[in-house]
Amino acid sequence: MLLTIKNLSKTYKNGIKALDDISLDISSGMFGLLGPNGAGKSSMMRTIATLQEPDCGEMQLDDIDILDAPMRLRRVLGYLPQEFGVYPSISGYNLLNYFAVLKGVADKKEREKLVDYLLDITNLTEVRRKSVSDYSGGMKQRFGIAQMLLNKPKLIIVDEPTAGLDPAERRRFLTILREIGQDHIVIFSTHIVEDVQELCNDMAIMNQGRILLRQSPEESVRQLAGKIWLSKITKEGLVDMQSKYQVLSTAYSPDNTLNVRIYASDDPGEDFQMVNAQLEDVYFVYLNDFRA
């Protein structure tokens, strides 16, 4: 399977250019779209999902011309938006069964088997008789995955799915995505670097409607080898540090000093030690370069 995006652009009526000439090829597996809030990620997800039209560009999923045949795309699409409405006071089992009917699963035995299977893989079997409106945030997200998989989609889009989840629910959700990502194209939009690092074999970093980097997480980290340095300073020394170096991130130590990570191609001096690069370093290097 291959999703091809060429020269996709979108400017809203308020003048914001949400998508700026984006071109990407995305194949099967977990693809991370990483960027800060307001980067244009949700605009891109809605456009691919045919919920809004671009100003120009092309999109193709295998033999489906997405812009010319949006209904063909929707039949093989699973979409979990950042916010997906309020569920009624209906049990998880009954609501999923209802969605299955709407998606054309007419045979009762086939439908029951499918619903049981999806509740099982999303770890919702024990709460299948509980009203979905009473589910926790993480349960609702997992239910969203279950209903998304009813039509056996080829392309799956999830937009900021772990935002607001507690650590345990986030872990369950990522485990489910990892399992279904083996047989689908899954586009995983997030501003959380750790999610991409854990899940994705391919990624792009996006900001202000543009793709800043397209590379595997492993390769992007490898290219920063020998260029990330750490220094321990007082809080008062941060402004001076920022004026001299490309500061990527800071973190307080137990002794109330700051650990400062910087990017530098050459050895910045004896006050620094070289450290292993991380995906978060890659993220901040490209965002800082973009702002500059």
**CATH number of the structural domain spanning residue 115:** 3.40.50.300
17-26 pLDDT, tens digit each = 999 999 999 9
Residues with Cβ within 8 Å of residue 113, at least 6 apart in sequence: none
Residue 242 lies in a domain: yes
pLDDT of residue 86: 59
| Residue 236 CA: distances (Å) to CA of 226, 232, 250, 257, 270 | 27, 12, 13, 10, 20
Tokens of 159: 């937009």
Residue 289 lies in a domain: no
Residues 9 and 71 in one domain: yes
What are the distances in angstroms from CA 281 to CA 142, 214, 243, 256? Answer: 30, 15, 19, 22
248 domain residue, yes or no: yes
Q: Please give the biggest Cα pair distance in the chain.
A: 72
Residues 154 and 111 in one domain: yes
Same domain, 184 and 47: yes
Same domain? 161 vs 237:
no
In a domain, residue 149? The reply is: yes
Residues 54 and 179 in one domain: yes
Residues 25 and 147 in one domain: yes
Q: How many domains does the chain have?
A: 2
SS (H, E, C) 154-180: CEEEEECCCCCCCHHHHHHHHHHHHHH
Burial class from Cβ neighbours inside 10 Å (0-12, 13-18, 19+) for residue 160 reads buried
The reply to whether 281 falls in a domain is no
Answer yes or no: do 47 and 77 share one domain. yes
Q: Would residue 292 count as lying in a domain?
A: no
Residue 48 lies in a domain: yes
**Residue 291 belongs to some domain of the structure:** no
Cα(17)–Cα(13) distance, rounded to whole angstroms? 9
pLDDT tens digits, the chain, 292 residues: what are they?
899 999 999 999 999 999 999 999 999 999 999 999 889 999 999 999 999 999 999 999 999 999 999 999 988 998 888 766 656 788 999 999 988 888 888 899 999 999 999 999 888 999 999 999 899 888 888 898 898 888 889 999 998 888 777 888 888 888 888 888 777 899 999 999 999 998 899 999 999 999 999 999 999 999 999 999 999 998 888 999 999 999 999 999 888 889 999 999 999 988 899 999 999 999 999 998 755 4
On whether both 255 and 121 belong to a single domain, the answer is no
Full residue range of the structural domain in which residue 244 is found: 226-275
